[in-house]
């Protein structure tokens, strides 16, 4: 029996040694660290928003007439560039007629002025009736008024000639064309849609209660198409629809991130801010339906800490976890770490001081 027991112990020891040899110790992992901080945070609502232009207009003509040219779709125009032209042949004829009428009236005025001079000299010699002089002077005053009216007609025709060349009220891109050359247009009928792609905003509809925790100038997070940024609230309309109980907010947006009409997600505060722990977003690890971070012990061992993420603010995110301000968390190399694995710290990013909000 003793011999059998010795044989069994020897076999078990050999198996344990072979298993130990088959599983070599984990290599030391290189990681970068950041620091847990305390920041102001609040619960947020993630709401859909839309990128819009602050200047988006349907441009129409102020006159009736046949179109001779209309800008192409996609054409970029600067302010006061032509976007459409009306046939101005009749207007040019009217202008010629106005100048001719002015010259005729000026000739009549000159003749009557001479007549007044002659009659005034005769009146001094008592060789004519005073009534004839009054008649000529009255005719002269009427001609002077006719001259003013003819000059107004001339100026109106010049103004209409300018309006026959429809110009861009602002710089932008022709997004669509409603009419083409050869068609007859009327005042107020849309010719093109002009959109300023350099002046952008985000429009988002939110529940009325959000207005209690949002203010003009505060910055909120916007996400879309793999991009994330902080955008300031430019305007807030504290007027809700009686059925939807929603209000509109406008966020300022620099060009170069999204196209007009794209959908984005906006995070708006839904409660008063409170102090909470925050870590860089890169510290969060999502694995097997778990969300956790790794901190590092005094002997450079990785320690897995489950977390509950909260609201985000730029590159950081609020968390609830068994951590405290000042603790280190892994922000680079955490994806390949295991609990208890030895680590080598290559860099420790210190938390930047943040202004109080």
Higher pLDDT, 344 or 200: 200
Region 275-291: mean pLDDT is 85
Asked if the model's pLDDT at residue 26 lies above 70, the reply is: no
Region 33-49: mean pLDDT is 83
Region 38-53: mean pLDDT is 85
**C-alpha separations of 121 from 5, 12, 127, 325 in Å:** 159, 149, 9, 108
Asked if the model's pLDDT at residue 153 lies above 60, the reply is: yes
Q: Largest alpha-carbon pair distance within the chain?
A: 171
Banded pLDDT at 97 (limits 50, 70, 90)? very high
Region 254-283: mean pLDDT is 87
Angle at 192 between CA 191 and CA 197, to 5 degrees: 160
Q: pLDDT value at position 17?
A: 47
**Is-contact 30 343, C-beta < 8 A?**
yes
3 state SS for 162-206? HHCEEECCCCEEEEEECCCCCCEECCCCEEEEEECCCCEEEEEEE
Contacts for 26 with CB less than 8 Å, ≥ 6 apart: 338, 341, 342
Higher pLDDT, 81 or 22: 81
**Is-contact 208 246, C-beta < 8 A?**
yes
Question: Both tokens of residue 123?
Answer: 């009146």
Asked if the model's pLDDT at residue 132 lies above 70, the reply is: yes
Category of 136 on φ-ψ map: left (φ > 0), alpha (ψ -120 to 50) or beta: alpha
Banded pLDDT at 24 (limits 50, 70, 90)? low
Contacts for 10 with CB less than 8 Å, ≥ 6 apart: none
Angle at 263 between CA 254 and CA 260, to 5 degrees: 50
Q: What is the pTM of this model?
A: 0.67
Region 232-245: mean pLDDT is 88
For 144, the 3-state DSSP assignment is helix
Alpha helices in 41-198 (DSSP H): 89-124, 130-163
Q: Which residue has the tokens 């730029």?
A: 314
Region 270-296: mean pLDDT is 84
Region 240-251: mean pLDDT is 88
Banded pLDDT at 315 (limits 50, 70, 90)? confident
Q: pLDDT value at position 151?
A: 95
Asked if the model's pLDDT at residue 356 lies above 50, the reply is: no
Each residue's pLDDT tens digit, 168-210: 999 999 999 999 999 999 999 999 999 999 999 999 999 998 8
Region 305-326: mean pLDDT is 82
Asked if the model's pLDDT at residue 223 lies above 80, the reply is: yes
Average pLDDT, the chain: 86
User: Which domains are present in the chain?
Assistant: 27-42+274-348 (2.40.420.20), 44-54+199-269 (2.40.30.170), 56-86+164-196 (2.40.50.100), 88-162 (1.10.287)
């Amino acid at each position: 029996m003793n011999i059998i027991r010795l044989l069994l112990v020897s076999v078990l020891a050999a198996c344990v040694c072979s298993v130990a040899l088959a599983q070599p110790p984990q290599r030391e992992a290189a990681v970068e660290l950041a620091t847990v901080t305390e920041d102001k945070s609040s619960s947020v609502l993630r709401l859909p928003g839309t990128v819009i232009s602050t200047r988006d207009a349907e441009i129409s003509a102020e006159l009736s007439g046949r179109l001779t040219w209309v800008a192409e779709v996609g054409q970029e125009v600067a302010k006061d560039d032509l976007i459409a032209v009306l046939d101005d042949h009749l207007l040019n004829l009217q202008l010629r007629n106005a100048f001719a009428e002015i010259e005729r009236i000026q000739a009549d005025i000159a003749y009557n002025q001479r007549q007044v001079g002659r009659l005034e000299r005769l009146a001094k010699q008592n060789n004519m009736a005073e009534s004839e002089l009054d008649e000529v002077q009255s005719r002269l005053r009427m001609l002077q008024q006719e001259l003013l009216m003819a000059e107004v007609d001339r100026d109106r025709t010049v103004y209409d000639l300018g309006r026959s060349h429809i110009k861009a009220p602002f710089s932008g891109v022709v997004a669509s064309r409603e009419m083409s050359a050869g068609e007859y247009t009327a005042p107020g009928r849309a010719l093109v849609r002009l959109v300023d792609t350099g002046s952008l905003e985000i429009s988002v509809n939110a529940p009325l209660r959000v207005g209690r925790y949002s203010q003009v100038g505060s910055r909120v997070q916007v996400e879309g198409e793999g991009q994330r940024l902080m955008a300031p609230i430019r305007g807030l309309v504290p007027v809700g629809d009686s059925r939807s109980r929603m209000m509109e907010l406008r966020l300022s947006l620099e060009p170069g991130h999204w196209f007009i009409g794209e959908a984005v997600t906006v995070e708006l505060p839904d409660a008063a801010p409170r102090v909470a722990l925050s870590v860089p977003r890169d510290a969060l690890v999502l694995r097997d339906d778990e969300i956790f971070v790794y901190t590092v012990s005094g002997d450079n061992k990785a320690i897995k800490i489950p977390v509950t993420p909260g609201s985000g603010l730029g590159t950081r995110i609020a968390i609830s976890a068994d951590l405290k301000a000042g603790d280190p968390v892994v922000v680079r190399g955490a994806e390949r770490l295991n609990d208890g694995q030895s680590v080598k710290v290559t860099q420790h990013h210190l938390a930047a001081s943040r202004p109080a909000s």
